[in-house]
Structure 1
Amino acid sequence: MRSILVTGGAGFIGSNFVHHVVDSTDASVTVLDNLTYAASREAIDGLPGDRVDLVVGDIADADVVDPLVAEADAVVHFAAESHNDNSLNDPSPFVRTNLVGTFTLLEAVRRHGTRFHHVSTDEVYGDLELDDPARFTETTPYNPSSPYSSTKAGSDLLVRAWVRSFGVAATISNCSNNYGPYQHIEKFIPRQITNVLDGRRPRLYGEGLNVRDWIHTADHSSAVWAILERGRIGETYLIGADGEETNRDVVETILDLMGQPTDAYDLVTDRPGHDMRYAIDSTKLRTELGWAPQFTDFRSGLAATIDWYRANEAWWRPSKDAVEARYAEAGQ
């Protein structure tokens, strides 16, 4: 695979994957990104111009997608509308990007016989009870609870159908919650970090007892590359790093790392349909492909993430007030 097309490669997880490919392989990368509010050119600035090319365009536009797929050895599909709160306010962009966009890409890879990897989320499985010892596996039934997770579930099913019906050479991964550099500040961890940097109090939905299974985005990137290289066609792999934490524990750790009292946060109105717990069993990925996470200490990974946001205020500052204004309107 000498030439990789990465959709959503100027967004948070996609841009970190592009950096991983450049740093650890000799492949060239074409990034296809619509540069919506959650993406930025800065996320891939500084990468060698002879190996990384940015094309600004919509994955739902077949005229843009087809020639790029024709030139690629593989497509890694990160592009998605992904913020649950936004999907509750307006589901339509989620349907277009996550469903129509994935369909458009699948038709292109079918025409050109191109290897395809589809990046998805553990949210397609719904949620687990807090006292349930189980974790999600590749055979867990889908039970999405929001327009975001339901459109991602639909896109997964499209990939499975195109593998079975048309012989598309595709794999799927469902990953737990990512954290790390270049994540938009509307998301949970960067919102709390930038609130503290701004002298604002962090905000927690409900009682803050919801559990998420955190993974550093660098580990997600290495897992996706392992699947692209060695994964079995038609298979789904769950990506996780055994990082279960309550939202309250995450906020209190952020406050502690930033030298603040650990109770210096506010509880706000919970989000409708808020999933209680996610937990990933990544045994298949680890045993079959020999993958293992490198960021196994969540506290140290969080400290490095705080340092990044502290050092890159110019990147997040322009959108901070608008983000907080939207949350304030919702009482959150």
Structure 2
Amino acid sequence: MRIIVTGGCGFIGSALVLHLVEDLGHEVTTLDALTYAANPISLRPLEGNPRHRFVQADICDAQAVEEAFAAARPQAVMHLAAESHVDRSITGPGAFIRTNVVGTQVMLEAARRHWSSLEGAEREAFRFLHVSTDEVYGSLPPGGFFTEASRYDPRSPYSASKAGSDHLARAWHETYGLPVLVTNCSNNYGPRHFPEKLIPLMILNALEGKPLPVYGDGLNERDWIHVEDHASGLVAVLERGRVGETYLLGGRSVRNNLAVVKALCAAFDRLRPEHAPHERLITFVADRPGHDRRYAIDPSKAEAEVGYRPSRSFEQALEDTVRWYLDNESWWRPIREGRYSGERLGLGSAKAG
């Protein structure tokens, strides 16, 4: 297949692009603006691969997006580009509204025009997969789980902007007939995760002997999915999902934040015993405004309809993630030291806009 992936230099996007090209042999055009959280080094294994093309473009730039569609002639779009850090959305919500809402509208319109130009089997087979988050559903009571029928109740500018983008994707299906699929995933972890998020931040702080800051009492619960399991799940939904449907992708690995940090400390105690015990670095800090207490996903529908299955045990995959950061300092060190520049590290294939 010929596929456009937006946000393909990000954490989840890069895992997806590598899976699509290296494992499945698809032709992929990666569309990414190379904002602060995008790292083109993540796609370095695809340098020189004729099945991959990189286009530096902002999804809010309608002309650049149209040019990318014209060049790629996609059979599918997998839309992952988003501003995603809750803390940043609290201090600067405008960028989240622009990228997550306006950018999604631009992508949907470009896809609709492209799809409308297709005929016969090619038009019938086209898909637009919109990738979202479980945070749009708000906070769960103890022991609860999100399903595809859960009510939207976003609590932060980030989750509200993603909720808006979900509604737009469904509206383009209902109003225009665009063959849309929507996925909502739980918290991702794994290699190439930008260091502002919980797990990579704790890994790098532990590595440098710095405090491990935990919000509030640390008992906020999240369902964790390995990024490569998520990538496989997205492909399964693209290939076998029913048009107009929503599928929740989770890892069946609910842990509270303090338990995750302690598991990371235990992994460091095994891998770097000279600095043990790492739990001494845990520091409790003032809670984040609007901090949802529990997210957890019931992925039964995706398991039954598209064959999705998380394949990794959380504790082992978490330790493998620690090993990846220990072995790949060249990936994270420029970011950690503030020397990262998307322009300087760019892939150099194409630039739009």
Instruction: Say whether residues 1:62 and 2:62 are aligned partners.
Output: yes
Of 80, 83, 90, 2:82 maps to 80
Q: Residues 94-122 of structure 1, C-alpha deviation per residue, up to 9 Å, x if partnerless?
A: 01100000000000111111520000000
Q: Residues 250-305 of structure 1, C-alpha deviation per residue, up to 9 Å, x if partnerless?
A: 0101111101323431001110000110000000000111221111x111000110
- Cα pair distance change 1:115/1:67, threshold 3 Å: farther
Greater relative CO, 1 or 2 (CA 8 Å, sep 6+): 2
How far the C-alpha of 1:27 sits from its partner, in A, is 1.1
Matched residue, 2:206: 196
Q: Residues 214-259 of structure 1, C-alpha deviation per residue, up to 9 Å, x if partnerless?
A: 0000000000000100100000000011010010000101111101
Matched position secondary structure for 1:46: helix
How far the C-alpha of 1:66 sits from its partner, in A, is 1.3
Matched residue, 1:311: 327
Q: Quick one: distance in 1 between partners of 2:34 and 2:164? A: 23
Instruction: Say whether residues 1:116 and 2:133 are aligned partners.
Output: no
Structure 1 counterpart of 2:317, one-letter code? G
Matched residue, 1:244: 254
Question: Percent identity at matched positions?
Answer: 50
Q: How does 1:84-99 map to 2 (within 5 A)?
A: 84-99=86-101
How far the C-alpha of 1:134 sits from its partner, in A, is 2.1
Native 8 Å contact 1:174 1:237 kept in 2: yes
TM-score for both structures, normalised by structure 1: 0.94
Gaps of 5+ in 1: 324-332
How far the C-alpha of 1:321 sits from its partner, in A, is 5.0
Aligned residues: 319
Matched residue, 1:330: none
Most deviating of 136-145 and 63-72? 63-72
Native 8 Å contact 2:210 2:281 kept in 1: no
Q: How does 1:114-263 map to 2 (within 5 A)?
A: 114-129=126-141, 131=142, 133-259=143-269, 260-261=276-277, 262-263=279-280
Matched position secondary structure for 1:275: coil
How far the C-alpha of 1:155 sits from its partner, in A, is 0.1
Gaps of 5+ in 2: 116-125, 270-275, 340-353
Native 8 Å contact 2:219 2:256 kept in 1: yes
Native 8 Å contact 2:206 2:281 kept in 1: no
Of 293, 311, 319, 1:294 maps to 311
Q: Quick one: distance in 2 between partners of 1:293 and 1:106? A: 29
Matched position secondary structure for 2:95: helix
After superposition, the CA RMSD in angstroms is: 1.2
Q: Quick one: distance in 2 between partners of 1:219 and 1:314? A: 25
TM-score for both structures, normalised by structure 2: 0.88
Instruction: Say whether residues 1:18 and 2:20 are aligned partners.
Output: no
Matched residue, 1:320: 336
Matched position secondary structure for 2:31: strand
How far the C-alpha of 1:322 sits from its partner, in A, is 5.5
